[in-house]
Homo-oligomer: A and B are copies of this chain.
Amino acid sequence: MPIVVQKYGGSSLETLDKITEIAKKIARKKNEDYDIVVVLSAMGKTTDYLLDMAYKISKNPSKRELAVLMSTGEQVSIALLSIALNNIGVSAVSYTGGQLNIITEGFHTASRIANINKDIILNEISKKNVVIVAGFQGINENNEITTLGRGGSDTTAVALAAKLGCCCEIFTDVDGIYTVDPKLHPTAKKLLRISYEEMLELASSGAGVLNVRSIELAEKYKVPLLVALNAGYIEGTIIKELDNTMEKSSITGLAVDNQQAMITLNGVPHNIKIISDIFGKIAKQDINIDMISQTTPINNLVNISFTIPKVDLPITIQIMEKYKNEIFTFSYETFDNISKLSVVGIGMKSQPGVAAKMFKILADNDISVHIITTSEIKISYVINPDKQQIAIEAIAKVFNL
């Protein structure tokens, strides 16, 4: 029988009623002659509740212990779903990450899966059991409990599917991947298929449905991913290798990111060492610099603009202030309210002129651009947020999104 890995997120597990509904859904899939491995997140807001307790006790809680604490959230979910499945006559067994030998490496609360022992799962499957796995967690080489960081349950599911050589179905509170976030553009179209490459660019540009690491893993191990609604039978989106069934539109989707901030440094000496030094100091704080633009030098001075996650703005300002006082004088401006639009499409590779078309759209609508970056299948723009909606509608219209 084919194996399938199904992952259910926290919003699918908010209440006991929702858990019993999921049990019925799994029972139906089992009746279609599938062997099923289920990966679960914590119920509803459990992770936030647990974190809140930890931070009430300590401003800087031990990371080792945070992982011990947070991993209980998924453990409650797996036990309850297993009870619900056994209650309707579907034999099921639950496993924590540690019990399954999901070995991780790296920090306690931001670990990466290094290896999974699939023998335990295959043994349970041979006994006709549904195997229910706690997502988001594992153990490190010292047998300490670890967690994978936010969104880690998706990664657990994809890693298991990779190891088992099967499909992975991610059930969530949206019914698939859209050309544009329907909250921002209600007439956006659902994509039936999308390539890993495009999905990766959309996800890393602010489309929040899947986390980037899980898409990378799926691409690496060629795991077909289905993203679909946790309830009902609405068709979702399949994420897989590019093939002839996929339409090669110049633009497949538009991602919007409002979680970035922009900093502009004015009058920086046009000296690669100084510039690299500034960015080095920021990177050392584990802050991810995303987009960078630099003006042409005037009197050997340049202006540099770059974006960082909005949450990292205060610490970046501290770094700038220190640098200003210690090294040389320059002025800087910060913009904590910017809009980053990214258009993504595999067709860009073969159809030139998308950038030009985009410029025309923005110019026609009197939208000025602060930073632009391009990759082979993506172009990103930073614009003022008051122009965001006009830009979305104009781009969606021209590219039929």
- A78, CB-defined interface residue at 8 Å: yes
Task: Quickly give the copy total for this chain.
Answer: 2
With A62-B83, A86-B62, A99-B143 in contact, do A68 and B57 touch (Cβ < 8 Å)?
no
User: A87: which B residues are within 8 A, CB to CB?
Assistant: 57-58, 60-61
Say which one of A69-77, A204-212, A296-304, A322-330 lies at the interface with B.
A69-77
Q: How far is A14 from B61 in the complex, measured between Cα atoms in Å?
A: 20
Decide: A83 and B54 in contact? CB cutoff 8 A.
Answer: yes
Q: How far is A76 from B65 in the complex, measured between Cα atoms in Å?
A: 9
User: A79: which B residues are within 8 A, CB to CB?
Assistant: 54, 65-66, 68-69, 72
Decide: B69 and A72 in contact? CB cutoff 8 A.
Answer: no
Q: How far is A53 from B53 in the complex, measured between Cα atoms in Å?
A: 21
- A84, CB-defined interface residue at 8 Å: yes
User: A61: which B residues are within 8 A, CB to CB?
Assistant: 83, 86-87
Decide: A76 and B86 in contact? CB cutoff 8 A.
Answer: no
Decide: B50 and A76 in contact? CB cutoff 8 A.
Answer: yes
Q: How far is A99 from B143 in the complex, measured between Cα atoms in Å?
A: 7
User: A62: which B residues are within 8 A, CB to CB?
Assistant: 82-83, 86
Instruction: Render A40-71 as a binary contact track against B, CB cut-off 8 A, 1 for contact.
Output: 00000000001001101110111011101101
Nearest B residue to A144 via CB reads B99
| Smallest CB separation, A109 vs chain B (Å) | 12
User: A53: which B residues are within 8 A, CB to CB?
Assistant: 16, 76, 80
| Smallest CB separation, A320 vs chain B (Å) | 31
Q: How far is A78 from B62 in the complex, measured between Cα atoms in Å?
A: 12
Q: How far is A79 from B61 in the complex, measured between Cα atoms in Å?
A: 10
Query: Which listed residue (B56, B60, B64, B84) contacts A57, Cβ 8 A?
Result: B84
Decide: A80 and B75 in contact? CB cutoff 8 A.
Answer: no
Decide: A82 and B65 in contact? CB cutoff 8 A.
Answer: yes
- A94, CB-defined interface residue at 8 Å: yes
Decide: A65 and B83 in contact? CB cutoff 8 A.
Answer: yes
- A157, CB-defined interface residue at 8 Å: no
Q: How far is A56 from B96 in the complex, measured between Cα atoms in Å?
A: 23
- A93, CB-defined interface residue at 8 Å: yes
Nearest B residue to A70 via CB reads B79
- A267, CB-defined interface residue at 8 Å: no
Decide: B54 and A80 in contact? CB cutoff 8 A.
Answer: yes
| Smallest CB separation, A185 vs chain B (Å) | 40
| Smallest CB separation, A42 vs chain B (Å) | 10
With A72-B75, A94-B68 in contact, do A19 and B57 touch (Cβ < 8 Å)?
yes
- A153, CB-defined interface residue at 8 Å: no
User: A347: which B residues are within 8 A, CB to CB?
Assistant: none
Nearest B residue to A134 via CB reads B68
- A98, CB-defined interface residue at 8 Å: yes
Q: How far is A61 from B79 in the complex, measured between Cα atoms in Å?
A: 10
User: A143: which B residues are within 8 A, CB to CB?
Assistant: 99
| Smallest CB separation, A38 vs chain B (Å) | 13
- A20, CB-defined interface residue at 8 Å: yes
Closest 6 CB pairs of A and B: A69-B79, A58-B87, A72-B72, A68-B79, A61-B83, A65-B82
> A20-B57, A96-B145, A99-B145 given. 13 additional CB < 8 A pairs?
A16-B56, A16-B57, A53-B80, A61-B87, A62-B83, A64-B93, A66-B79, A66-B83, A68-B78, A68-B94, A68-B96, A71-B75, A75-B75
Which residue numbers of A lie inside 8 Å of B, CB to CB? 16, 19-20, 50, 53-54, 56-58, 60-62, 64-66, 68-69, 71-72, 75-76, 78-80, 82-84, 86-87, 93-94, 96, 98-99, 143-145
